[in-house]
Structure 1
Amino acid sequence: MTIEVAYATPDKQALVSLPVPLDTTAEQAIHASGLLAQFPEIDLEQTKVGVFGVLCNLDHSLKHGDRVEIYRPLMLDPKAARLQRAKK
């Protein structure tokens, strides 16, 4: 089956499509994608992950066509960001 793994920083985006065996977990897909080497700041013990915007555990079993997303911590609360934009 084929899945995608996605990660983005403010400066760079990465989307890796790769074939994986059936019953591959989100964690296995992240390791297979090579993104941990490309982005050493990713700490899977601290970082949240999801599939198509829905949070999941690292042991989540993937299906064909899934996109695993590695999330960064928010720099600013979305409500605070809206308030700042409204003040401008």
Structure 2
Amino acid sequence: MRVSVAYVEDGAHFWRTLDLPAGTTAREAAERSGVQRCFPRADPQACQLGVFGKPVSPERPLEGGERVELYRPITADPETVPRNDREEPE
């Protein structure tokens, strides 16, 4: 089956399409993609994983055509970051 693995960090991105056996898990796909060689902080053992924008268990078996995403941890408290509220013109 063909799946993709995606990761973004500091404006740089990683996208790799892989042919993997049926039953491959989200974590296995992330590990086999080589993302951590390009981005050392993209550890498939530590990062939250998702498929098409929805968090999933690392042990979730994938289906052909799916995109595995590695999510970085939040590094700022959202309540302390200033909002970018712009007034809309009337």
TM-score category of the 2 structures, normalised to the smaller one: 0.7 to 0.9
Root-mean-square deviation over aligned CA pairs = 2.1
1:25-40 residue pairs with structure 2 within 5 A? 25-40=25-40
Letter in 2 for 1:31: E
Q: Which moved more, 1:1-10 or 1:40-49?
A: 40-49
TM-score (norm 2): 0.82
For residues 40-78 of structure 1, give each alpha carbon's deviation from its aligned partner in whole angstroms, at most 9, with x where no partner exists: 11233432110001111110100000000000122342x
- Segments of 5+ residues of structure 2 without an aligned counterpart are none
Q: Which moved more, 1:39-48 or 1:17-26?
A: 39-48
Indicate the residue corresponding to 2:59 in structure 1. 59
Indicate the residue corresponding to 1:70 in structure 2. 70
The DSSP-based 3-state class of the residue aligned with 1:64 is coil
Q: Point out the structure with the larger helix share.
A: 1
Letter in 1 for 2:41: E
Indicate the residue corresponding to 2:49 in structure 1. 49
For residues 3-52 of structure 1, give each alpha carbon's deviation from its aligned partner in whole angstroms, at most 9, with x where no partner exists: 00000012201110010000000111011100011111123343211000
Indicate the residue corresponding to 1:3 in structure 2. 3
Aligned residues between the structures: 86
The DSSP-based 3-state class of the residue aligned with 2:83 is helix
Aligned pair in 2 of structure 1 residues 7, 42: CA closer, same or farther (>3 Å)?
A: same
Indicate the residue corresponding to 1:19 in structure 2. 19
TM-score (norm 1): 0.84
Aligned equivalents of 1:53 and 1:87: distance in 2?
27
Give the number of the structure whose alpha-carbon radius of gyration is greater. Answer: 2
